[in-house]
Structure 1
């Protein structure tokens, strides 16, 4: 991008660049500091760095509370990704391909949890389960994560489904193929990029969720984000920085690897099509 030639425009352009740079520094400096300090040999979680060490990652791997929280977050995120993707596919097909009474209301209801702040949603559900005298459990926590991730899955799959022309499905149906076979052989392969993205998105949303998990988790149960908060109540040590770095790697690395895998698969598919032609 080139700077404007006139004086006032040039100053405005430089001011915009400076503000943009400050915003990025404000956003990413804490992340960089967390990663750097996780390798600090000192027992104090701050600058100056006294030396490079992986000691705090070794300590972290021996912390049974952290390992338990990791397993809890992993299975909840995996189940959330699977369930929301299945529900999202069915809901998106119904909302895009069919007409029925109350369709707009159902569509609004499907994406409503994404529009409500997590804190309000968490408190509201907590008040409801207290009102019906329902103790907090793994099932409540899992249902809460599904509720939070489902709107994003529906939106992603809907966007892809709208872009798929109905003529492919109509041609299959006109040739006598059942709707199930049409979906399996025609619609689903065309939906796979969105399905893959939805699985990764739902997993990341669930694994990284903090606010709602604080309200819905059973007593004595910690997820990775709530475990970090519990450790921060004691002190900010390099062990906390190491755990934060692992969270960054998982929540950022999985979508990046997923995008790379999707790109490679798309390239291989294109090559096969070219070879077939």
Structure 2
């Protein structure tokens, strides 16, 4: 009886592994194909490849529309990361360290955009600005990206701030430091991993956003994702594959860099705490 159960268990685990592998192949095979075909020498994107070439990346640099879309996305992402990091750290500090009326409501409102699908949020904001006769503009697009990225920064900062013991802050204030000085000299250095992680995540969310940008961008303004969609309407060329590869590298590489930086800052913080306790 136990032997039959063991065989059933092995078959179940084998089936689970097979399904898992198939799911990952289904998810990542198109990405791999896009990266590989971006180096295809032929102008017709497909297999078999006729040669290896970087010419399509050179074409991107010569494409004024692509360069402008990249600059627009980069500017929006940098502004979004800066604003959401600043507002997110302050909001997380208020939610974790202070008690005030409406604290639960504030926490719910801050996290709410992460719970609503981007399409519904995009349509809702579009209807709102149309109802007040406000034309779509670049500042509205930036505010929309800030709205989408802020919940994640707050959650990361809250998780980090909960782990920061108040004893360090209380010790600094007992020695005469003001709240601002305590935050600047004690709390903020301990929050550096959360600051870096939140900023990079906000940058990635903004730079890679597609659905909301389609609703909020003004006429004549293209971001990188919307530029790719507009290029796909005409044809699928290796130039589109090259642009997609650039997007993949940035959206995957930036979080990886962030993870490495977080590990470095965390190790330094632990060493600092160890020295203080020693």
Question: TM-score over 0.5 for the alignment?
Answer: yes
Name the residue aligned to 1:198. 198
- Aligned CA distance change for structure 1 residues 143 and 242 (closer, same or farther; 3 Å): same
How far apart are the structure 1 equivalents of 2:233 and 2:208? 19
Name the residue aligned to 2:254. 254
- Aligned CA distance change for structure 1 residues 274 and 107 (closer, same or farther; 3 Å): closer
Name the residue aligned to 2:26. 26
- What SS does the aligned partner of 2:40 have? coil
How far apart are the structure 2 equivalents of 1:95 and 1:270? 25
How far apart are the structure 2 equivalents of 1:194 and 1:265? 10
Task: Give the TM-score, by structure 2 length.
Answer: 0.94
Deviation string, structure 1 residues 160-216 (Cα, Å, up to 9, x no partner) = 011111111111112221001110111101111001100000000000000000000
Name the residue aligned to 2:117. 117
How far apart are the structure 2 equivalents of 1:110 and 1:274? 35
- Contact 2:72/2:223 (8 A) holds in 1: yes
- What SS does the aligned partner of 1:6 have? helix
Name the residue aligned to 2:65. 65
Q: Which runs of 5+ in 1 are unaligned?
A: none
Spell out the pairing of 1:53-132 with structure 2 (5 A cutoff).
53-132=53-132
Aligned-pair CA distance for 1:217? 0.3
Q: CA RMSD in A?
A: 1.8
- Aligned CA distance change for structure 1 residues 177 and 241 (closer, same or farther; 3 Å): same
Name the residue aligned to 1:224. 224
How far apart are the structure 2 equivalents of 1:137 and 1:173? 45
How far apart are the structure 2 equivalents of 1:264 and 1:165? 20
Aligned-pair CA distance for 1:265? 4.6
How far apart are the structure 2 equivalents of 1:109 and 1:273? 35
Aligned-pair CA distance for 1:11? 0.3
How far apart are the structure 2 equivalents of 1:275 and 1:152? 32
Aligned residues: 274
Aligned-pair CA distance for 1:59? 0.7
How far apart are the structure 1 equivalents of 2:25 and 2:75? 34
- Aligned CA distance change for structure 1 residues 166 and 265 (closer, same or farther; 3 Å): closer
Deviation string, structure 1 residues 143-165 (Cα, Å, up to 9, x no partner) = 00000000000000001011111
- What SS does the aligned partner of 1:88 have? helix
Spell out the pairing of 1:126-275 with structure 2 (5 A cutoff).
126-267=126-267
Deviation string, structure 1 residues 231-263 (Cα, Å, up to 9, x no partner) = 000000000000000000111111212222333
How far apart are the structure 2 equivalents of 1:162 and 1:274? 19
How far apart are the structure 1 equivalents of 2:265 and 2:190? 13
Aligned-pair CA distance for 1:44? 0.9
How far apart are the structure 1 equivalents of 2:270 and 2:167? 22
- What SS does the aligned partner of 1:262 have? helix
Task: Give the TM-score, by structure 1 length.
Answer: 0.95
Deviation string, structure 1 residues 54-92 (Cα, Å, up to 9, x no partner) = 111111110000000000000000000000000001111
How far apart are the structure 1 equivalents of 2:267 and 2:156? 22
- Contact 2:190/2:269 (8 A) holds in 1: no
Q: Which runs of 5+ in 2 are unaligned?
A: none
Query: Are 1:47 and 2:47 matched, yes or no?
Result: yes
